[in-house]
Amino acid sequence: MTLTSDTTTAADRVPAATAPSATTPSAFDFSGIAERAAETDATGLIPEQNWQDIRDSGYLRLFHSREIGGSGADPLTQTLAMEALARACPGTYWSATVSTLLCVKLIATYGDPVRHARLIGPLLSGERLACFAVVEATAGSDSGTFRTTVRPAGPDGDGFLITGEKSRITNAPTADLAVVLSRREKAPGDDGPDWCLAFVDLHQPGVERYEIPHMGLRGMPWGGIVLSDARVGADDVLPVPIEELSETMAWGWLKNSFAAIGVAEAALDASVRHARSRVSFGRPLAHMEGVQAQLAESRAQIDAARLLALRAAYERAAGRSARDLIAMVKVYSTEMAVQVAARAVQIHGASGVTKGHEVERLYRDAQMNVIGGFTSNRLREQVAEDLGLGPAVYHAFDWVAPTGLGHDPAGLDGLPRSGEAA
């Protein structure tokens, strides 16, 4: 696998406000990974050759500055690479991108470049794999319900101990390192943040892991981590305000967006190929007005999503807050991909719902992007808040009493109770 374009001039060739079209060639050749995508889905395992191809391509270093070992690629190159890998194999894309884009961003943003070079270097080289352990078994996206806790190790040792369970985590079964969102057990007088990021070595006593079967992205390792007084070094627990953390976590929403765009583009390609080759009722499907309308709608939706995603990537790479913009593109692109994949299934007919068919796999993969990262409904609430509608917080409200319909039929309003004489 080779990188064929000059990454220092790619942004100059495509203006920031313009997304690459379907005909724009990707600088990355992930064709080998694409050829193994069906095998990856069927076996539920990412082939080692996929990882070798990713390492050789330089993909893992694209999203980071040269100061920490990255390549300092411009936003266009980053987005082209993400879409190319997601289009080749969404499960492989998720596993690699969670580790390098999301986890390394968190370590580099809140950690120390010198002290944490021992963690960042192996992740950028592909020697090690990381997971971002956020969600818990009894909760979804609501951090207020999380119970995983870090506490000082005490007189028996330096550093900290972490206890809790994280579930439905990408890379959990196979990762070497977990970036864990955790509560802090604070000593008296500690007025620091209630939350922290803990960088946990998963190859140690006190760590158990399990796999969870999943509908789509089957090659992506997915499961849970049970932490029972696992040790964390003194330098590897970083107090972070939860409100501030959400800004960096938005990189994960952007990851989902390009995963969805890649899936949708692959589904559209499969649909066009099928429409050109399949003859029904004496003419190719491609000559049928209904099929043409479906393909045109998919083309427009994909390009719209790509434009919004590229704009968000440029804003974020420039150091500006793009959380609400990324929230919008995550919602739009992931739900768009489900629609495009559903059209692909319909265009393919019975073969589209046959196990092992390309569009059957893509339809399952598309659904996972909607749920993963952060739920669309909660992101919609965040966008609404930015419109000035106020925080989406529940307050008890009596809808009945003001209407006069709240009288107690048991007799509190002066009427006789059941069994009493009128």
Please indicate, yes or no, whether residues 285 and 233 belong to a single structural domain of this protein. no
Of the three residues 240, 269, 291, the one that is the final residue of a domain is: 240
Distance from chain centroid for Cα 114? 28
Evaluate whether 219 touches 40 at the Cβ level (below 8 Å). yes
The contacts of residue 343 (CB under 8 Å, 6+ apart) are: 267, 271, 294, 295, 297, 298
The contacts of residue 278 (CB under 8 Å, 6+ apart) are: 284, 285
pLDDT of residue 199: 98
Token pair, residue 97, equals 């991108």
Of residues 17 and 71, more confidently modeled: 71
Q: What angle do CA 41, 168, 203 make, to 5 degrees?
A: 90
Say yes or no to pLDDT of 420 above 60: no
Of the three residues 96, 129, 162, the one that is the final residue of a domain is: 129
Please indicate, yes or no, whether residues 46 and 75 belong to a single structural domain of this protein. yes
Say yes or no to pLDDT of 9 above 50: no
pLDDT of residue 404: 65
Please indicate, yes or no, whether residues 37 and 65 belong to a single structural domain of this protein. yes
Give the bridge partners for 196, in sequence order: 182, 239
User: Of the spans 126-140, 162-176, 246-260, which averages the highest pLDDT?
Assistant: 162-176
CATH number of the domain enclosing 256: 1.20.140.10
pLDDT of residue 201: 97
Evaluate whether 182 touches 162 at the Cβ level (below 8 Å). yes
Say yes or no to pLDDT of 144 above 90: no
Residue 409 lies in a domain: no
Q: SS3 breakdown of the chain: % helix, strand, coil, rounded to 5?
A: 50, 15, 35
Please indicate, yes or no, whether residues 385 and 250 belong to a single structural domain of this protein. yes
Residue 395 lies in a domain: no
pLDDT of residue 243: 78
CATH number of the domain enclosing 217: 2.40.110.10
pLDDT of residue 382: 81
Closest among 127, 114, 3 to 57, alpha carbons compared: 3
**What is the percentage of the chain residues whose pLDDT exceeds 90?**
59
Say yes or no to pLDDT of 253 above 90: no
Residue 278 CB neighbour total at 10 angstroms: 15
Please indicate, yes or no, whether residues 193 and 169 belong to a single structural domain of this protein. yes
Please indicate, yes or no, whether residues 101 and 163 belong to a single structural domain of this protein. no
Please indicate, yes or no, whether residues 159 and 123 belong to a single structural domain of this protein. no
Please indicate, yes or no, whether residues 219 and 250 belong to a single structural domain of this protein. no
Residue 420 lies in a domain: no
Candidate from 170-184, 273-287, 394-408 with smallest mean pLDDT: 394-408
What's the mean pLDDT when you consider all of the chain?
85
Of the three residues 209, 240, 271, the one that is the final residue of a domain is: 240
Please indicate, yes or no, whether residues 254 and 358 belong to a single structural domain of this protein. yes
Say yes or no to pLDDT of 387 above 90: no
Containing structural domain, residue 167: 131-240
Closest among 212, 221, 99 to 170, alpha carbons compared: 221
Please indicate, yes or no, whether residues 18 and 119 belong to a single structural domain of this protein. yes
Say yes or no to pLDDT of 374 above 80: no
User: Into how many domains does the chain fold?
Assistant: 3
Evaluate whether 217 touches 256 at the Cβ level (below 8 Å). no
Write the DSSP assignment of 174-215 as a string of letters. T-SEEEEEEEE-PPTT--S-SEEEEEEESSSTTEEEEE---S
Say yes or no to pLDDT of 174 above 80: yes
Query: What is the C-alpha to C-alpha distance for residues 70 and 63, in angstroms, rounded to an integer?
Result: 7
Say yes or no to pLDDT of 52 above 60: yes
> Strands 160-170, 222-232: parallel, antiparallel or unpaired by DSSP?
antiparallel
The contacts of residue 9 (CB under 8 Å, 6+ apart) are: none
Residue 185 lies in a domain: yes
Query: What is the C-alpha to C-alpha distance for residues 349 and 333, in angstroms, rounded to an integer?
Result: 24
Candidate from 111-115, 140-144, 203-207, 226-230 with smallest mean pLDDT: 140-144
Evaluate whether 103 touches 63 at the Cβ level (below 8 Å). no
Residue 399 lies in a domain: no
Query: What is the C-alpha to C-alpha distance for residues 81 and 92, in angstroms, rounded to an integer?
Result: 13
pLDDT of residue 6: 38
The maximal CA–CA distance of the chain, rounded, in angstroms, is: 93
Query: What is the C-alpha to C-alpha distance for residues 58 and 202, in angstroms, rounded to an integer?
Result: 26
pLDDT of residue 348: 92
Distance from chain centroid for Cα 274? 30
Query: What is the C-alpha to C-alpha distance for residues 215 and 360, in angstroms, rounded to an integer?
Result: 11
Please indicate, yes or no, whether residues 171 and 300 belong to a single structural domain of this protein. no
Q: Band the pLDDT of 412: cuts 50, 70, 90.
A: low
DSSP state of 416: P
Say yes or no to pLDDT of 391 above 50: yes
pLDDT of residue 22: 40
Please indicate, yes or no, whether residues 275 and 337 belong to a single structural domain of this protein. yes
Measured in degrees and rounded to the nearest 5, phi and psi for residue 292 equal -60, -40
Residue 403 lies in a domain: no
User: Inter-axis angle of helices 358-371 and 242-277, to 10 degrees?
Assistant: 160
Token pair, residue 258, equals 């390009």
Query: What is the C-alpha to C-alpha distance for residues 376 and 365, in angstroms, rounded to an integer?
Result: 16
Q: Band the pLDDT of 73: cuts 50, 70, 90.
A: very high
